[in-house]
Chains A and B, each alone.
Chain A
């Protein structure tokens, strides 16, 4: 296994695209109507804290990924047992993300193409990227990063230029008090997209200068959170609370409103293409994390698993749900309530506690031994 190296810029790009990836397309917290952006802003702050904890986990044991850290914390048999759940979790989320991707394509640009075809083609691309390594994935996201930022910026400028931004759409703010916001954050926003940063506990071990990475990972969350908040405000103001809440892909609906000089119009398809890059990167990361888990269990280079497991994920992309409504319902209820919290917070925090305790114990022992 060759050692892969990520630079700090690449880490930032990965994290930004990861957080924005599907969240900006699917729309997060839209059920909170006018309060959605407030909730996202608060969740960003909390998200920074979560990322800090995940980073601490990696900082305590540098050059160890999540699975190896678990081995340190729980011993290998237990770690393998938990890893199995993590692998299933990562691969499941990866196939769910692919389903988002597939549904978006099927809804917006290729309505007549069977979703199996889209699922297979996108998975082949993901397999290729992941086979080439996380380094390549990071470079790809580094290249697409400016385009993604640029398109969000352009989208906002165009919406303003088309005169679609209406400030009164943002009213009334906090009409029902603060409780809905809290309910929206827990467990909705905190798990998706911020809790999903758990994937980075697998990636961070590849970062060259982990010591300097602290600022970068936190900056990434803040930047992405800010962009997400801003994008939500723009969507809210251009679409109005009702349309935003009931639209499947609010960003797409917002992009449809653009019309400048009878020339720049119907940009939604283009928006889709750019935003797809986000989901692609995110899904690749989850897929990679799952494969890394398999590498840990079987001690076989993860590249050997890429194709067979990738094909399985492609199948599950189609099989996870019968239709888009079911997919959405599962995502909002089952995954958010029962799957995300233990995997994103329960096990990692338990692990962090144990490792902190162990390192302290070791320090004490060291002190004793040096004293004696």
Chain B
């Protein structure tokens, strides 16, 4: 048990068993009172529920010398496992010591035969159908008082591969996959601690998607965990396919372009943030997990920051913040300065720019908008294009943006530089959702700069900051720890302190255990006098 490869299954099973033991006692009573569902009725109701679906398999089997029917959904279960477990030689042997006609007998039988494989005894057809959908097979016999179902879900999905959207140079190269069970094991493998808890939810009235929340029991703030549970339970939609669906339903209802939950495909990011006291939400069927609560500065942090030397990571973080400002401001500043405040540009540079712009028929704002839209189109095309023709886009794009447009007199050369620096800076953001938000804001600021110059840009930025300051993610101010300011949290915001210096968890998460690690002794050179001999 202790060496089980997937400990979370253990926890889940334990929970399920605990539920079973409680409910089976009730059941025993109810069985005596109610009429048992007959095999024929069960067959009828399963058939009527699933209709003519092709993946429902119904087989006659012999189990413990009894005639029975085996139901399963071909598409949900692992067939090789099924053959190994169910059809082993013991199952079909007569078992004279047990009376399979009684509830106790069938329980004992299952304990002996299927113990450890997550069996479940059910009584009604609805339960049996749910078990089928969950990836179990169901055995029923005329003479059994209960229906046996054994979970054997098919986990043969995509293999764990390198992350594609959040890459690092140094650090683990595994990423989440579509199967939530594998995702949970990727997290559990990193945190070998019994305090790591996963809770299962089933969301989507039609799809019944499995959603798990994970948190460190004695670290995460219980109130926030409770709030997440409450919000998950409140979700009332028919279908959930991606964590993005959950994200929209989970965060505060505000009109904002900024992401109020962090999405990642990196298990090391999730594990690291869980240890900080955050809560992760893993949705079955998607390689992107969510982390809540989130603050604005989280989007400038890559998990790699903790693997590189702290000075390098600090430098990289500063670069990311500067890039964010570049994306936001440079195009609108170009418009504002050229249109209203040319005196801000050093004279010779201004003469140069003006000479280039001489042939351009548009005002600066139109020029910028044309180019920014062209780039946005190229970028979107680059993502949607079939791989085979992807090369074409980049060549066409480089030629169109880089040269032809400038030579044709549509735009000035300086404009090419502006678009290029903005585009490049936009790719610096470690998380896509923030860079998408920045792109939208940039496009809002450009026309404002066209109307009101730098004054408009400034007002736009003030509004943006006020808007950011008003946001909250699960009760945590979005701009924490900058506003409200907390000096102790500054060690891991704009710059990263050495790992031994990061002793506290972020105070804005109000964790149950604010100290992350004890003060560690730093190494000093050992006394080598004997060898070096002074």
**Which residues does chain A contribute within 8 Å of B456, judged by CB atoms?**
121
- B485 touches which one: A125, A142, A144, A277 (CB < 8 A)? A142
Instruction: Decide if B341 is an interface residue (CB 8 Å cutoff).
Output: yes
**Which residues does chain A contribute within 8 Å of B455, judged by CB atoms?**
105, 109-110, 118, 273, 276
**Which residues does chain B contribute within 8 Å of A138, judged by CB atoms?**
483
Instruction: Decide if A280 is an interface residue (CB 8 Å cutoff).
Output: yes
**CB <8 Å contact, A139 and B341:** no
A143 with B452: in contact, given A125-B459, A125-B462, A276-B458 (CB under 8 Å)? Answer: no
By DSSP majority rule, is chain A's interface helix, strand, loop, or mixed?
Answer: helix
CB under 8 Å from chain A, chain B span 470-485: 470, 477, 479, 482-485
CB under 8 Å from chain A, chain B span 338-374: 340-341, 343-344, 346
A110 with B484: in contact, given A139-B477, A143-B465 (CB under 8 Å)? Answer: no
The proximity string for A residues 129-141 relative to B, scoring 1 for CB distances below 8 Å and 0 otherwise, is 1001101111110
Instruction: Decide if B240 is an interface residue (CB 8 Å cutoff).
Output: no
> Complex: how many Å from CA A263 to CA B485?
35
By DSSP majority rule, is chain B's interface helix, strand, loop, or mixed?
Answer: helix
The proximity string for A residues 242-286 relative to B, scoring 1 for CB distances below 8 Å and 0 otherwise, is 000000000000000000001101100110010011001000000
**Which residues does chain A contribute within 8 Å of B522, judged by CB atoms?**
none
Q: Whole-angstrom distance from the CB of B496 to the nearest CB of chain A?
A: 20
Q: Whole-angstrom distance from the CB of A259 to the nearest CB of chain B?
A: 11
> Complex: how many Å from CA A137 to CA B463?
11
Instruction: Decide if B54 is an interface residue (CB 8 Å cutoff).
Output: no
CB under 8 Å from chain B, chain A span 326-344: none
Q: Whole-angstrom distance from the CB of A25 to the nearest CB of chain B?
A: 15
**Which residues does chain B contribute within 8 Å of A263, judged by CB atoms?**
346
**Which residues does chain A contribute within 8 Å of B470, judged by CB atoms?**
132-133, 136
**CB <8 Å contact, A140 and B340:** no
The count of residues in chain B whose C-beta lies closer than 8 Å to any C-beta of chain A is: 25
**Which residues does chain A contribute within 8 Å of B466, judged by CB atoms?**
125, 128-129, 132, 136-137, 140
**CB <8 Å contact, B346 and A262:** yes
The proximity string for A residues 214-229 relative to B, scoring 1 for CB distances below 8 Å and 0 otherwise, is 0000000000000000
**CB <8 Å contact, A143 and B479:** yes
The proximity string for A residues 102-118 relative to B, scoring 1 for CB distances below 8 Å and 0 otherwise, is 00010001100100011
Instruction: Decide if B453 is an interface residue (CB 8 Å cutoff).
Output: yes
**Which residues does chain B contribute within 8 Å of A9, judged by CB atoms?**
484-485
Q: Whole-angstrom distance from the CB of B466 to the nearest CB of chain A?
A: 5
**CB <8 Å contact, B479 and A269:** no
Q: Whole-angstrom distance from the CB of A103 to the nearest CB of chain B?
A: 13
> Complex: how many Å from CA A133 to CA B467?
11
**CB <8 Å contact, B452 and A139:** no
**CB <8 Å contact, B452 and A140:** no
Instruction: Decide if B282 is an interface residue (CB 8 Å cutoff).
Output: no
A110 with B465: in contact, given A142-B483, A270-B344, A276-B458 (CB under 8 Å)? Answer: no
Instruction: Decide if B328 is an interface residue (CB 8 Å cutoff).
Output: no
**Which residues does chain B contribute within 8 Å of A139, judged by CB atoms?**
469, 477, 479, 483-484
**Which residues does chain B contribute within 8 Å of A105, judged by CB atoms?**
455
**Which residues does chain B contribute within 8 Å of A144, judged by CB atoms?**
465
Nearest B residue to A273 by beta-carbon distance?
B458
**Which residues does chain A contribute within 8 Å of B485, judged by CB atoms?**
7, 9-10, 142
**Which residues does chain B contribute within 8 Å of A280, judged by CB atoms?**
462
Nearest A residue to B485 by beta-carbon distance?
A9
**CB <8 Å contact, B343 and A266:** yes
Instruction: Decide if A23 is an interface residue (CB 8 Å cutoff).
Output: no
CB under 8 Å from chain A, chain B span 272-314: none
CB under 8 Å from chain B, chain A span 1-51: 7, 9-10
**Which residues does chain B contribute within 8 Å of A118, judged by CB atoms?**
455
The proximity string for B residues 150-172 relative to A, scoring 1 for CB distances below 8 Å and 0 otherwise, is 00000000000000000000000
Instruction: Decide if B431 is an interface residue (CB 8 Å cutoff).
Output: no
> Complex: how many Å from CA A277 to CA B466?
12
> Complex: how many Å from CA A110 to CA B482?
33
- A140 touches which one: B344, B453, B483 (CB < 8 A)? B483
- A269 touches which one: B344, B452, B463 (CB < 8 A)? B344
Rank and list the top 8 A-B pairs by shortest CB-CB distance, nearest first. A139-B483, A139-B469, A142-B483, A132-B470, A136-B469, A129-B466, A9-B485, A136-B470
Known: A136-B466, A266-B344; 20 extra A-B contacts, CB below 8 A, are A9-B484, A109-B453, A110-B453, A110-B455, A113-B452, A121-B452, A125-B463, A128-B467, A129-B466, A139-B477, A140-B466, A142-B485, A143-B469, A143-B479, A143-B482, A262-B346, A269-B343, A273-B458, A277-B458, A280-B462
Q: Could you give 14 example pairs across A and B, Cβ below 8 Å?
A: A7-B485, A109-B454, A118-B455, A121-B452, A125-B463, A129-B462, A133-B470, A136-B469, A139-B483, A139-B484, A140-B465, A140-B469, A266-B344, A273-B455
